Structure 1
Amino acid sequence: MTPQFWLWLGFAGMAAGAAAILFMAKRRTPAEEADGIIHGIVPIIAACSYFAMATGQGSLVLPAGPDAAEAARQFYFARYIDWTFTTPLLLVGLSRTAMHSGMRRPAVVWGLIGSDLIMIVTALAFGLSDVAAIKWTWFAISCGGFLAVFYGIFVQLREENASERADVRKAFVRNAVFLTGVWSAYPIVLLVGQDGLGILSPTAALAVIAILDLTAKVVYGIMATLETTRTVDRDLKDGSVAATPLRRAA
């Protein structure tokens, strides 16, 4: 399979996933509507990124480095633009799950987003760098940002989540473990891909990242949307929140 196959598969999968999530998402409460929009827009952004890469507008040719077997490599910068927007949205959605009864600590969410952006921007610098010492310094900083995101999720968000009812706590743990488990594979792929050690072929690296992207954005988006629906079902059943009728223009 060619690199183009994986790029067009990513585009088609993201577009179909966005449609599925927006169709599944309910709007019985403002919170439920917001979560549906968050998880629906994530694959829309990713679909645009994959379209750009598939049509040649989302990549550029860079030197492969003095130790590489080939003289040049294709650098897909569009994926970093995608991640800059989509990963903060996913963290906002996860934070809303953790603090279902109310966003009590917005500073924690901002800290998560800040750490996440440091991780993405420094990963971009890693991919753009040709000098080994600079490249691997950026990679180490990016991994540090990733550890800060982990801390925010499993320490700070979990502290807030502890005061929620049992089904909300379980939903948060499921979402957090699934999302961070998928995200943990990205630095490994970047490490062994063409932007790092060059162990994976360009096509193999594209295939793995496309699968990871579809899992983190579409599969997780569907999972999180269903979790929100179940949680709101419980809210409506026990009367902790009232359904909000949709407003229509007069």
Structure 2
Amino acid sequence: MRALWIVFGIMVIASAVFALRSSTIVMSRRLYHVITTLITIISALSYFAMASGHAAAFICQTIREDHKHVPNILRHVCREVFWARFVDSSLTIPLLLLELCLLAGVDGAHTLMAIVAVLVMVLSGLFAAFGCDNTAQTWGWFAIACFSYLFVIWHVAVHGSQTVDAKGAKVTKIFSSMATFILILWTIYLIVWGISDGAKNISVDSAIIAYAVLDVLTKPVFGAWLLIAHHQIPEINFEVGGYWSEGLSSERIIRISDNEEAPLRQPSPLPIQPIRQQPRHQEPST
């Protein structure tokens, strides 16, 4: 459990540093900083919940051992599952993917499909973790997660590499490095899940340490890398106006300087319609 508290402290410190850094950036250029700060804040809350013991459940099952000369033995085996980890992943991994798609200039349709695929991957891991050991149900969910991950790789590695070329060589190089870094770590996530929550071949404490190292690399380390690149490479910067940076109160307002007066419009005259005179009624002469 000490590893959980250590990672919680790392996430809190990273959140404070990212928040202070974002306060020095103009709001219209603060999107990367806001997303990165949200990722570490969500992860800090998740690790606090796991370290305090409020975000775990025990999955128990009965194992029967048959013996010839002695009575059969029934063993009740329970394993701790931290469901807060999957809540964390369902929120932070889509945000990480959004940062990569924004960096590459991927369109909204492909970004949405990639985010949905990531959510399917995370939820499949959650459903499999609460299943029975070594059953078709467990590995069926794992297969769905792997297939969804291949869909994510296609959107990031293939489609993202095609769209990022329009931003220049510097952005292409940094995107290739960051995408490779993240995709390798996400692949290790699946491997760790397969041998811990899937096959139950390693202890819960070993899984905690493995996930802790991966979370530190994919969230604070990657976030710091992205924000440093944002500061050093001007081509990465982009502005988000409208409601994001100005709000609704400043939209559709016409400003008039003090030295200029707004021209006054004269009301247009109403159309004058001619009045028709009725012919006088003449009395018949007698």
Q: Could you tell me which residue of structure 1 aligns to residue 47 of structure 2?
A: 50
Q: Could you tell me which residue of structure 2 aligns to residue 154 of structure 1?
A: 157
Aligned mates of 1:48, 1:85 — CA distance in 2: 12
- The change in CA–CA distance for 1:192 and 1:165 in structure 2 (over 3 A counts) is same
2:81 pairs with 1:79? no
- The change in CA–CA distance for 1:62 and 1:51 in structure 2 (over 3 A counts) is same
Q: Which residues in structure 2 correspond to 1:148-187 (within 5 Å)?
A: 148-187=151-190
Deviation at 1:7, TM superposition (A): 1.1
Deviation at 1:19, TM superposition (A): 1.5
Q: Could you tell me which residue of structure 2 aligns to residue 201 of structure 1?
A: 203
SS of equivalent residue, structure 2 residue 198: coil
Deviation at 1:20, TM superposition (A): 2.0
Relative to the length of structure 1, the TM-score reads 0.85
Question: 2:227 aligned to 225, 228, 232, which one?
Answer: 225
Question: 2:193 aligned to 180, 187, 190, which one?
Answer: 190
Question: 2:13 aligned to 9, 13, 16, which one?
Answer: 16
Question: 2:103 aligned to 87, 90, 97, which one?
Answer: 97
**1:46–1:82 contact (8 Å) kept in structure 2:** yes
Aligned mates of 1:139, 1:116 — CA distance in 2: 13
Cα deviations by residue, 1:61-119 (Å, 9 ceiling, x for unpaired): 1125749x8700001000100011100111111111111xxx6x100100110100000
Q: Could you tell me which residue of structure 2 aligns to residue 39 of structure 1?
A: 36
Question: 1:63 aligned to 49, 60, 64, which one?
Answer: 60
**2:125–2:142 contact (8 Å) kept in structure 1:** yes
Letter of the 1:208 counterpart: A
Greater relative contact order (CA < 8 Å, ≥ 6 in sequence): 1
Deviation at 1:10, TM superposition (A): 1.7
Q: Which residues in structure 2 correspond to 1:82-161 (within 5 Å)?
A: 82-99=88-105, 105-130=107-132, 132-161=135-164
- The change in CA–CA distance for 1:8 and 1:235 in structure 2 (over 3 A counts) is closer
CA RMSD across the alignment: 2.3
Aligned mates of 2:124, 2:60 — CA distance in 1: 19
- The change in CA–CA distance for 1:174 and 1:70 in structure 2 (over 3 A counts) is farther
SS of equivalent residue, structure 2 residue 167: coil
Letter of the 2:90 counterpart: T
Cα deviations by residue, 1:165-192 (Å, 9 ceiling, x for unpaired): 1111111111111111111110111111
Q: Which moved more, 1:8-17 or 1:210-219?
A: 8-17
Relative to the length of structure 2, the TM-score reads 0.75
- The change in CA–CA distance for 1:158 and 1:44 in structure 2 (over 3 A counts) is same
Letter of the 2:201 counterpart: I
**1:97–1:171 contact (8 Å) kept in structure 2:** no
Q: Could you tell me which residue of structure 1 aligns to residue 216 of structure 2?
A: 214
Q: Which structure dedicates a bigger proportion of its chain to helix?
A: 1
Cα deviations by residue, 1:1-39 (Å, 9 ceiling, x for unpaired): xxx1111112111111112222334514623x0100001
Paired residues, what number?
230
